[in-house]
Chains A and B, each alone.
Chain A
Amino acid sequence: MPDPEVFSDDALLLRFARGDGQAAALLTQRLAPRCVAFATRMLNGDRAEAEDVTQEAMLRLWRHAPKWDANGSARPGTWLLKVAGNLCIDRLRRARALNIDAVAAPADPAPGALAKLEASERLVALDAALAKLPDRQRQAVVLRHIEGWSNPEIATVMEISVEAAESLIGRGKRALTQALVPRREELSDG
């Protein structure tokens, strides 16, 4: 089994392409949890849907492995979140096209109530506020402030200018602040 300390994600992906089955297990352990977390936020808290998105994104990563450019600028983790983000937006658009009422009046902006009981108040509040943002704003804010990407990285992945990315993030943050300010007392206690 390849030593996880020694091999980068790029190296593991290349090993996978050459037939190393253990590389797939290591990459899954490294990349899938964050992808599920990201997709769950993008999909307004729907973890089951987020798992499906993660499975699909990982499948695309496996298929892309032989063509992977280890010297390129993209890392498997960022590549995966880019694909997952696009898959999430596609699903959200399809869901809206099928059920316009669900968009007009989202009954529960942070579904998965049982799971949320275990989550902290802050996360519940954040997810509820994120759910009210437009898809692209939510994607930009999550990538910037939760995944820790730079603005140019976000711009590249979302195929927009850096200025447009900054604008999306700025508007998203203002909307989040506005949603969270009324709950600042309980949030600051956490």
Chain B
Amino acid sequence: MARDPMELLGAEDKDNILGGVFEAAQKDVKPISADLEARILMQAAQVQAGFAHERRANGILIRLQRIWAELGGWPVAAGLATATVAGLGLGIASPPALDAVWSGVGLTSASLDGDFPDYDAFFEEI
């Protein structure tokens, strides 16, 4: 019965066999084809263009954030919103509710009507 060839070899022989083929493989690095290089570089250019776009978008965002901060940021926006709501509330409120305010300065809402120009006639002419 034939013996297993592995049994016939010493550790040094085995290492020599593998060492030789591994050494050959380490040197077996060929240059890539022009086609592959072109494909890789085309994708690299596309990815880089995306980075440039992101940088521009980030730049605009940073500038807007800076302007926002210079205007006072959220505290100012909150104050402005409060004033807007308050003004809207006063505008919607019925004039009699304001009489108490006007009476304090000697006026009434009715007396104000006559002191301001009336545009009704203007719209009628048009």
Contact = CB atoms under 8 A, between A and B. Distances in A.
Interface of A: 16-17, 19, 21, 24-25, 28-29, 32-34, 36-37, 41, 51, 54-55, 58-59, 62-63, 65-66, 119-120, 122-123, 125-126, 145-146, 148, 173, 176-178, 180-182, 184, 187-188, 190
B94 interface: no
Given A21-B48, A55-B39, A120 B9 contact: no
A63 B5 contact: no
A113 B45 CA distance: 35
Nearest to A126: B21
A24 B21 CA distance: 33
Contacts of B39: 55
A125 B18 CA distance: 11
A19 B33 CA distance: 25
The listed residue with most B CB atoms (<10 A of its CB), out of A17, A55, A182, is: A55
Contacts, number: 111
A49 B24 CA distance: 22
Interface of B: 5-6, 9, 13-14, 16-18, 20-22, 24-26, 28-33, 36-37, 39-41, 43-45, 47-48, 51-52
B24 A28 contact: no
Given A16-B44, A188-B16, A126 B32 contact: no
